[in-house]
Amino acid sequence: MTTLQIKNLHVAVSGKEILKGVNLTVHTGEMHAIMGPNGTGKSTLSQAIMGHPAYQVTSGSITLDGQDLSEMAVDERARAGLFLAMQYPSEIQGVTNAEFMRAAINARRPESDQMSIMTFLKTLDRQREFLSMTSEMAERYLNEGFSGGEKKRNEILQMMMIQPKIAILDEIDSGLDIDALKVVSRGVNHMRSDNFGTLMITHYQRLLDYIVPDFVHVMMGGKIVKTGTADLAKKLELEGYAGLRDELGLDIVLTDEDADRLVAVKHE
C-alpha cells in the first residue's frame, strides 16, 4: 500500500498565502473527491503536491510513503508514483502524443529494459480504444489543437499508460459532454484497484455518480472544512457552500454568495 500524506500544509503563490493548513491522507485503494468554491485553493493543492515551482510550501509537509516530497524534483515525484491530470494541460508542438507517452513510460524503466515500440503501440491501442480515441490522436502533436474535451481525455489516456499509484485529477470533468464524461469515468474506474488511489477535484456532483468516491472533502478558504461520504456531495448540491459555511460557523466570504437568489430573481 502507498500513502500520500499531507500535514498542516501552507502554500503561498507570489507571496500570498493560499493554503492555510490542509490535512489529508490518501491510501492506494481509496477514491477521494475534493469540492469547493472557485479560487479556494484546490488546484494550488494539486500543484503543490506535484511540485510546480510557482507554489511555495511555507510550512507543513507532503510525504509519499514517509518520504518528504519537498526534497524531490517534479520528475522524481512522478517516477515515485504520482500523477496529476491538469486543469489546463500544456500544448507542445513537434512532439507527438505517442512519442511523449513512450518517453514517459521509459523514464520509469531502467536503460537496459526500455519498452519496445511494438509493445508500446499494442498497449496504446488498447487503452486508446478503451477511451474511444482515434489512432490519429496518438500521432498528433501533444495536445496541440486538441479541443477542451480531447485534452481531458488525453490526460486520462496518459494516466492509463503510465499506471501511477496515486492520481490527482483536477477538474477532469470540465468541458466534457455527457458521453465523454461516461468514457472518462470508465477509464478512471478501470484503474480502480488496491494499488491505485485517486484525488478528484470537481465542481459537479454528477461526476461522482459515475466515479463513486469513498470520501468527499470540502475545501473553503484554503482549508478542508469538512469530510464525509458521497452523500456530502449531494447535500452540497442542494444547499450550496454558504449553507455549509453557516452550519460550520466559518468566517469566510464567498464571491458568489447570492447565486441562488439571482437565479430565483431571473425566474420571477
Name which of other proteins, ligand ATP, Mg ion, none residue 19 binds, using a CB cut-off of 5 to 8 Å depending on partner kind.
none
Q: Does 107 bind other proteins (CB under 8 A)?
A: yes
> Candidates 12-20, 73-81, 133-141, 248-256 — which segment interacts with ligand ATP by CB under 6 A?
12-20
Nearer to other proteins, 111 or 251 (CB): 111
- List of residues 6+ apart from 60 with CB closer than 8 A: 6, 7, 8, 9, 10, 21, 22
Site string for ligand ATP, 79-108 (x = CB under 6 A): --------x---------------------
Contact 224, 24 (CB under 8 A): yes
Closest residue by Cα to residue 216 from 230, 234, 201: 230
C-alpha 261 chain-centroid distance: 31
Instruction: Report phi then psi at 177, rounded to 5.
Output: -75, 175
Q: What angle do CA 239, 245, 250 make, to 5 degrees?
A: 175
C-beta separation of 101 from 161 below 8 A: yes
- Write the interaction track for other proteins spanning residues 58-87; mark x where CB under 8 A is met and - where it is not: ---------------xxx-xxx---xx-x-
- Pick what 73 binds: Mg ion, other proteins, ligand ATP, none; C-beta below 5 to 8 Å, kind-dependent: other proteins
For residue 14, the minimal CB distance to ligand ATP (Å) is: 5
- In the complex, the residues that contact ligand ATP under the rule CB under 6 A are 13-14, 18, 36, 38-44, 54, 87
